[in-house]
Chains A and B, each alone.
Chain A
Amino acid sequence: MAQRKMIETLSQNMIEAHGLKRTFRARGKNIEAVRGIDLTVAAGEIVGFLGPNGAGKTTTLKMLTTLLEPSDGEAIVAGCDLRRDPRGVRRRIGYVAQGGTTAGIARAGLEITSQAELFGLTPKQARQRGEELLSALDLEDVWDRKCESLSGGQRRRLDIVMGLIHRPQLVFLDEPSTGLDPQSRANLWHHIRKLRDQFGTTVFLTTHYMDEADSLSDRLLIIDHGVIVGEGTSAALKARVSGDSLTFTLRDGEQAARAADIANTLAGVANIVTEANVLHYQIPKGAIVLPVYLRQLTQAGIEPIGAEIARPTLDDVFLTLTGRTLRD
């Protein structure tokens, strides 16, 4: 009875997860890939799940899509209990894996039809819906083409067609734009946004690209080392980072290290990071600090090649929350 009630109260949310955990055994040791995740996704939201490689994004996604049984925890996904009714979850969700969904030697139309049939559609319905989705994603005339003959961007959009063919209420996209050129990425983002606006589909996407998370998501969840370390809209998260983001390019790593030592003496400085000959830090009132700091560098005999001042990005948010950059 209590169970029933919980499911009813959660039904306005597309995903409601509590304490999801996943432990792998490797070489006699238990590795905690995901160490207890709570998350809520409302119907109609586009939520970005952000974190560096190995943070536990894909493992979490695989649990939520029934591909991996959680070691512990509970979740209601699209109104079905993840542990007790995985088939119900599968019926209601779409999933686009990171590595693609189609066999290169198969024709696009065959992949679409066979996938649709597994969800109970007739071949005729599959063809009709498939063609509709293909044209919505600017993929006319690929029905009879082998998947391997499509360009990277076309094949990725075909993956999305595959994930949407049964009109799921909720779709999971794992790293949707990895490996695409900038133009294809922007095009894909446009299509993902259209999905939500036209069909009301809830979208849960993982990414390790800041710009993707920034421009696509209504709300972000930030994961690191298997736990969620930050949550909110992009703007709210950025507001938590104090001050501006300053970046300096120097002649070499040795100069960058010395410049970092000088930066360390500035009042209010945070998150000093050097990567090769590039130095990066955050500081309030960056525009006032910049000329002072440049003078200090000159006095120390360091001539920067370039200097840049910017409003904080999600990269800075990530750095503030986790102490490391997304590229680590």
Chain B
Amino acid sequence: MMTFFRDSWIVFKRAIIISSQNPLWIVIGLLQPILYLALFGPLLTQMAGMPGFPPGNAWLVFVPGLLVQLGIFGGAFVGFAIIYEWRSGVIDRQMVSPASRAALIVGRVMRDIVVLFIQGCLLSGAAFLFGLAVPLHALALGLLLMVLLGASFSALSYAAGLALKSEDSFAPIVNTFALPILLLSGILLPMSLAPGWLQVLSDLNPFKHMVTALRFVFRDEIWNGTVLLGFGLAVALLVLSAWVGTRVFERQTK
């Protein structure tokens, strides 16, 4: 167990140093949510108060969605990095070291968590400039949910990348999963505006419940079943993803 923590730390340290020496990717990852915030958010301010639109001003509705989106997309594409590392021989090299197999993925996920956290803070800061007004503890919960999601998607993405070992098959898979998740989660527009059948479909999407939960949190309505469900789903997803990710790393030698 000690070696697991030590090895995770070593893998994390290497990964975070590489990221800090190539900061362009952190900026690029942040670009998409910032563009949504600046170019899409103002549209929503016109819609607030319409029938079907959740209570609260537009930013209280939109920023939780953006945080969830950052978590999902920030994590989902890291699989490209593991394909690059595998092709460079880094993965095999670390596999032939005595390091714990789980540490090889956990250390990398830890790096993604730190990068996401920085991006989330920058995004929230920008949102405050646009007019978001939210208690700090609510924002902290928002960042926590984003990090939980980011860690899950990062682990799943590493697993998929390492299992497929080809950008050409990895890219369509990520897009196939990410786009319906995005559209059915009410990130851009609340699903309460949707027709009945679409609402039913989105109820099946766990990420919709996370977005809804975070909207409650941002309105400072924290102690209720909706919030519990949203965070519970996020934790369950993380446990599942960590298991899948570790399995895939272990199975590399089968």
* A residues lining the B interface (CB < 8 Å): 65-69, 86-87, 90-91, 93, 95, 97-107, 110-111, 114-115, 117-120, 159, 162
Contacts and interface: CB of A to CB of B under 8 A. Distances in A.
A117 B97 CA distance: 10
Contacts of A159: 89
Name the prevailing secondary structure of the B interface residues.
helix
A101 B254 contact: no
A97 B92 contact: yes
Contacts of B85: 103
Contact of A115 (B97, B252, B254): B97
Interface stretch (B10-18, B45-53, B117-125, B179-187): B10-18
Nearest to B104: A118
A118 B97 CA distance: 7
Contacts of A99: 87-89
A67 B249 CA distance: 11
A95 B96 contact: yes
Contacts of B18: 103, 105-106, 110
B88 A66 contact: no
A102 B88 contact: yes
Given A105-B22, A106-B14, A67 B96 contact: yes
Interface string B81-111: 0001101111011111111000000000000
B89 A102 contact: yes
Contacts of B90: 101-103
B21 interface: yes
Nearest to B25: A105
A101 to B, nearest CB: 4
Contacts of A100: 88-89
Interface residues of B, number: 26
Contacts of B11: 114, 118
B96 A115 contact: no
Contacts of A67: 92, 95-96, 252-253
27 contacts: A65-B96, A66-B95, A66-B96, A67-B96, A67-B252, A67-B253, A68-B253, A69-B253, A86-B253, A91-B98, A95-B92, A95-B93, A97-B92, A101-B90, A101-B92, A103-B18, A103-B84, A103-B85, A106-B17, A106-B21, A110-B14, A114-B13, A114-B14, A115-B93, A118-B11, A118-B99, A159-B89
A65 B252 CA distance: 13
B112 interface: no
B11 to A, nearest CB: 7
B22 to A, nearest CB: 5
A97 B93 contact: yes
A110 B253 contact: no
Contact of A90 (B97, B252, B254): B97
Contacts of A119: 97-98
Nearest to B13: A114
A42 B90 CA distance: 29
A89 to B, nearest CB: 9
Contacts of A105: 18, 21-22
